[in-house]
């Protein structure tokens, strides 16, 4: 019985260790390149290999996009207050999610 409990505990610990990094929400205090406005702290993102979620805990809507390490360009999307939007993830080819930036209302959607 002890062996079963110990192996079950180890399996759960390994599963949590693998899943935890993909579910951590990053604070929205990223410094953006160029002349783009800084992201308010109420905007956060959670990157994963398949999807990147941008969460808007602000009281106003914001137009945002995700920055990828390989330069992949995705369109800006409006995220309503107290809501979230799904962007593509970083994939399995070694790409990274570098952060999120605010978009101008003149930027394409």
pLDDT of residue 105: 67
**Rounded to whole angstroms, how far apart are CA atoms 97 and 105?**
23
Q: Where are the domains of the chain?
A: 24-102
Query: What are the per-10-residue average pLDDT scores of the chain (109 residues)?
Result: 50 43 42 61 96 97 96 95 96 94 72
SS3 72: coil
pTM of the complete model beyond 0.75: no
State the fold for domain 24-102: Immunoglobulin-like (2.60.40)
């Amino acid at each position: 019985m002890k062996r079963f409990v110990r192996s079950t505990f180890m399996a759960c610990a390994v599963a949590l260790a693998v899943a935890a990094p993909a579910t951590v929400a990053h604070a929205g205090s990223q410094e953006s390149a160029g002349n783009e406005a800084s992201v308010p702290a109420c905007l956060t993102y959670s990157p994963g290999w398949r999807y990147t979620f941008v969460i808007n805990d602000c009281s106003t809507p914001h137009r945002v996009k995700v920055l990828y390490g390989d330069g992949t360009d995705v369109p800006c999307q409006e995220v309503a207050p107290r809501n979230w939007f799904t962007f593509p993830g970083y994939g399995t080819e070694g790409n990274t999610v570098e952060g999120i930036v605010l978009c101008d209302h003149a930027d394409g959607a």
